[in-house]
Structure 1
Amino acid sequence: MHVLIVEDNPDIIANLYGFLEPLGYTLDVARNGNAGVACATGSCHDAIVLDLSLPGMDGMEVCRTLRREYQLTTPILMLTARDTVHDKLAGFEAGADDYLVKPYSLPELDARLKALVRRSRNEHVQAVLTFGELRLDAGIGRATRAGQPLDLTPTGYKILSALMRAAPRLMTREEIEREVWGDNPPESDALRTHIHTLRRVLDKPFPQPLLLTLPGTGYRLAAPDET
């Protein structure tokens, strides 16, 4: 699980790394609100652990910015010492998915993160994703381009779904591999083969390519104004 920690307290950061990394988590850290927004919108994460008391932009404003300005749907778990009902309601109104009051149990944090990610992935199953002339109905497992059905492999479907959720942002190879294979990607260069197959289905029958490659880095979908 890939988690972004937005926290300025070095002791708390060290505790989170010490507990979560041995459980298999991949962690990124941002130490202020502005850095948190940049990191959250510049990379794919399964969840965000967000402290409220941050230098500069506080956690509440970070949450509102991610939800309203960037339309980010990544689950957000707020950490705070504020424990009144009013504080919790304000956090949920800002866009938080869960709220954990300090001091908290690290095993409980782990359990809440896993529950948030499970719920988030279930929501994706029901979602209809659209981007330009692409449409992916996860409820029935069907994808189309300009109304024409796309005959995708199961892995191609997962890759296209990930690219559509991120679009038009570039996804690194590592991000796509994590989306498709979780924490156990294949050792071979399987992703390149699956991208080749996806491109043949997605782009070959159409005049304009949608699946773009940044050599050595990753892939993205072309925005409608690029086609």
Structure 2
Amino acid sequence: MSADKPTVLVVEDESAQREVLSYNLAAEGYRVCQAENGEEALLVVDEDTPDVIVLDWMMPNLSGIEVCRRLKTRQVTRGIPIIMLSARSEEVDKVRGLETGADDYVIKPYSVVELMARVRAQLRRTRPSAVGVQLEFDDILLDGETHKVSRGGKPIKLGPTEFRLLRNFMEKPARVWSREQLLDRVWGRDIYVDTRTVDVHIGRLRKALMQHGGDDPVRTVRGAGYALG
């Protein structure tokens, strides 16, 4: 996963449509992964967890609806938003898609502008700071657009890695993150970094957040990792 850009997986067996979608998503600033069938989609998700999946219903062998069902029944992937694309415009089909676990349902032919808005809406829910939303936790305020952080109204100066760490924590307060998960989310999967580096940056983040006083908001969970609050 990219350290900063939200990742969108496009699953579409028609190459022309797949390329148009990928081009437009990349132009919006997303990192794009592609899969041309259901089996490949499941492999990609295992290797590189996306933030949103745009999934075509009608595909040979493994249909989009089956891919959706499998992802939504697994603990590790059930939280990934899925936008289902389908030429089926009947109400019963839309209901079936949503009941299988799809988070949104877009009927073909669709407007690319509308689809981009739907992707943004899902990200706003799961990765709010990635679309410029302000995050708040106790007296800490993080602005995803201006990259500014304050605590108790006083500005906090953070390096880029500490900012990404804090943003990750604030998107899911109370969730415990292992060092490996933080490496994936904050540094990116393509970079080799020792897990001890995480501890060093957590130390810097703590120091910065407590520079004007106040309790340490970052909790160490023995044998598991770190959490906020």
TM-score band (shorter)? 0.5 to 0.7
**How high is the TM-score relative to the length of structure 2?**
0.61
Map Cα deviations across residues 61-98 of structure 1 (whole Å, 9 max, x no partner). 10010001345211110001001000000000000010
Distance 1:99 1:4 in 2: 16
Name the structure 2 match of 1:84.
90
1:178-200 per-residue CA deviation (whole Å, 9 max, x = no partner) reads 7xxxxxxxxxx9x9865424379
TM norm structure 1: 0.61
Gaps of 5+ in 1: 123-137, 142-152, 179-188, 212-220, 222-227
Q: CA deviation at 1:25?
A: 1.4
The equivalent position to 1:107 in structure 2, one of 84, 103, 113, is 113
What letter is aligned with 1:96? Answer: A
Describe the superposition over 1:105-144 as per-residue Cα deviations: whole angstroms up to 9, x where unpaired: 101110011011112346xxxxxxxxxxxxxxx9769xxx
Q: Is the 8 A contact 1:63 1:96 kept in 2?
A: yes
Identity %: 33
- In 2, distance between residues paired with 1:197 and 1:8? 42
Which position in structure 2 is the counterpart of 1:22? 27
Q: How does 1:116-127 map to 2 (within 5 A)?
A: 116-121=122-127
Cα 1:81–1:101 change in 2 (3 A) is same
State the distance in 1 between where 2:58 and 2:164 align.
41
Which residue identity is paired with 2:57? L
Measured in 1, the distance between the counterparts of 2:30 and 2:13 equals 20
Aligned partners of 1:91, 1:169: CA distance in 2, in Å?
36
Shift of 1:30: 1.1
Other-structure match for 1:224? none
Range with greater deviation from structure 2 (14-23 or 168-177): 168-177
The 1:174/1:88 distance shift into structure 2, 3 A limit, reads same
Partner of 2:200: 196
- In angstroms, what is the RMSD of aligned CA positions? 3.7
CA contact (8 A) 1:156 1:194 kept: no
CA distance in 2, matches of 1:168, 1:59: 31
Query: Equivalent residue of 1:3, what SS?
Result: strand
Tell me how far apart the structure 1 counterparts of residues 199 and 16 of structure 2 sit (CA, whole Å): 42
Q: Specify the code of the residue in structure 1 equivalent to 2:114.
A: E
* Aligned-partner SS, 2:96: helix
Aligned-partner Cα distance in 2 for 1:194–1:172: 7
Length, aligned pairs only: 173
Residue 57 of structure 2 corresponds to residue 49 of structure 1: no
Matching residue's letter, 2:88: R
Partner SS state of residue 198, structure 1: helix
Q: For residues 119 and 34 of structure 1, do their structure 2 counterparts lie closer, same or farther at Cα, with a shift above 3 Å needed?
A: same
